[in-house]
A and B are shown apart, each in its own frame.
Chain A
Amino acid sequence: MRDATGRDKMNIANVKRPYRGREEEVFEPEPGDGARASDKVTAGQIFRLENIGLSFGGVQALRDVSFDIRKGEIRAIIGPNGAGKTSMLNVINGFYHPQRGIVEFKGKRRNSMGPYFAAKEGIARTFQNVALFKGMTTLDNIMTGRALKARQGLLSQAIFYGPARREEIMHREAVERIIEFLEIEHIRKATVEKLPYGLQKRVELGRALAMEPELLLLDEPMAGMNLEEKQDMCRFILTINRSFGTTIALIEHDIGVVLDLSDRIVVLDHGQKIADGSPQEVQRDEKVLEAYLGTVH
């Protein structure tokens, strides 16, 4: 979290990238005013949405929504309940296909991109109601995130001793680094069904990280958490963004967290975009105050 001068309070100098497999230079925050997306990243857009219209079952979920996500930033999507935030994330994910508008990822149009291809291209996500695989352990759940990277065929896996075992151990090493990073070693063999809600959310984050994504979509990652758990989660999100370079799109209701974490914010209301800009701009925007943050009447 930032202190009054905008400097990062946390020392993340000793954090290793968990899944690159080798030591790398870690990002050190510059003293002075905190880095802003527009200063720090010049690589440009990674995701662009233009005039998105989405409706299903007679309900118009999104209406003429346009915004972009720049590489390396933390983009928050906020708004009152029913504004269409999760639908927006589902569009980015390829789970819903918008009836109107342009969806562009890494420069190419992908309107009808299915969820499998989204995952393959490097988009991972977590869910509002934790969607873990209830019958499996923490370790197995996070290992499923490596499914895309598996190379060995059925026959090789049936024999197991040989290339399949080597690959399994390699994936296990990558997953163990993630477990270490998220501080969940103590529950790695526990069935996720029995875990408390906060830990389940962390396991789900680990599962998304196992995919080594370029764009990480988080749907209310701090819902139902107490202050300590939220601080932990913020620390993880910041490290993921700053050290691993992952772009993050985030839905969250805790305004304090949103204003602190994000580089830019998009505000939705009733399926339409009502504001888009830096935290300071959004905080002062009248429409946002009226619809969501609250004004003094």
Chain B
Amino acid sequence: MIFIGQLVEVLLGGLLAGVLYSLVAFGFVLIYKASRVFNFAQGAMVLLAGLALVRASNFLSSSGAPLWLATLLGLMFAGAIMVACAWLIERLVLRQLINQDGLTLFMATIGVTFIMEGASQLVFGSDVYPLRFYPTDSWFLFEGAFPGGVLVNKLDVWGGLIAGLLVALLAVFFSRTKAGRALRAVADDHAAAQSIGIPIGWIWFVVWSAAGLIALVAATVWGTKLGVQYSITFLALKALPVLIIGGFTSIPGAIIGGLIVGAGEKLAEVFLGPQIGGGIEYWFAYVVALFVLLVRPQGLFGERHIARI
């Protein structure tokens, strides 16, 4: 009985952690769906958003503002920063690289990552900044069924709810609205979309701003969990297996990929780890993603590309 209880606890913890990965993955999917660019800078965006938020709200509350006001203004400030960044990126980088191939754009986003990491830490500091956005204590569920109950972290649950809300919003946006359709056209062929009058620059600005705001949401969750610090950028790397498993263009796929990765990692760490020496979660997700790719090179939910010559 104890074993099952432990399994359930680890499983739940893993699933919820996986949902948090999905939050970061959403930003990737949004940008990829709209411009076929793989945005390596998503992790750096989370860092920037988190730093802006935490520093602004700390500054305001230490200047005497009540906590709720400081937090609200902090959010607005961080949101404005992300929108400004999106504008800069679109203007200075993306616009110059219209119609280049995916690899060039990917490497440009690596460049943007470095700029963002350096600039955000230069301006806002490079310490660890704790964030108290959500309650972080835990519930003990099912105390009747399992002795001691199953530990479920409230923060993780909040993360899950937010992720669910975002999925619903984004799914509706892409399938129902005119802007969503325009985004899909832009993703398919930049030059063609331009030639029929779709304002590519404006669209990319909107999309990157949206991804920036998603990064802000992810920053609130991850910042509460880990504290806002440089290592948050490695979340971007963690989201990659999520995207592989879920497909680069599928929002529900990002959730499912996140669940699989989160649960798989935790389970492997707890049950396989002791045999092979621990620290497995470092690479487990990647190896799983690798095997998924070998079977389905386009990921579980990705679109199959039929070669035509």
Contact = CB atoms under 8 A, between A and B. Distances in A.
B309 interface: yes
B287 interface: no
B306 A57 contact: yes
B309 A95 contact: yes
A127 B306 contact: no
A161 interface: no
A129 B309 CA distance: 7
A56 B307 CA distance: 11
Contacts of A128: 309
A23 B309 CA distance: 37
A131 B309 contact: yes
Interface in A115-135: 127-129, 131
Contacts of B309: 90, 95, 127-129, 131
A128 B309 CA distance: 8
Nearest to B307: A95
The majority secondary structure among interface residues of chain A is: loop
Nearest to A95: B309
Nearest to A129: B309
Interface string B178-209: 00000000000000000000000000000000
B150 to A, nearest CB: 47
Contacts of B306: 56-57
Interface residues of B, number: 2
Interface in A42-57: 56-57
Interface in B284-309: 306, 309
A138 to B, nearest CB: 21
Contacts of A57: 306
A90 B309 CA distance: 9
B83 to A, nearest CB: 38
A48 B4 CA distance: 65
Contacts of A90: 309
B182 to A, nearest CB: 26
Nearest to B304: A57
Nearest to B306: A57
A56 to B, nearest CB: 7
Interface string A9-27: 0000000000000000000
B302 to A, nearest CB: 16
A161 B224 CA distance: 64
A190 B91 CA distance: 34
A57 B305 CA distance: 11
B134 to A, nearest CB: 47
A127 B308 CA distance: 11
A269 to B, nearest CB: 21
A95 B309 CA distance: 10
Interface in A244-281: none
A115 to B, nearest CB: 10
A131 B309 CA distance: 8
Interface in B253-309: 306, 309
Nearest to B309: A127
B35 to A, nearest CB: 23
A171 to B, nearest CB: 25
A70 B306 CA distance: 32
A254 to B, nearest CB: 22
Contacts of A131: 309
A67 to B, nearest CB: 22
B58 to A, nearest CB: 52
Contacts of A95: 309
A57 B309 CA distance: 16
Nearest to A93: B309
Nearest 7 pairs between A and B by C-beta? A127-B309, A131-B309, A57-B306, A95-B309, A56-B306, A90-B309, A129-B309
Interface of B: 306, 309
Interface of A: 56-57, 90, 95, 127-129, 131
8 contacts: A56-B306, A57-B306, A90-B309, A95-B309, A127-B309, A128-B309, A129-B309, A131-B309
Given A127-B309, A129-B309, 6 more contacts: A56-B306, A57-B306, A90-B309, A95-B309, A128-B309, A131-B309
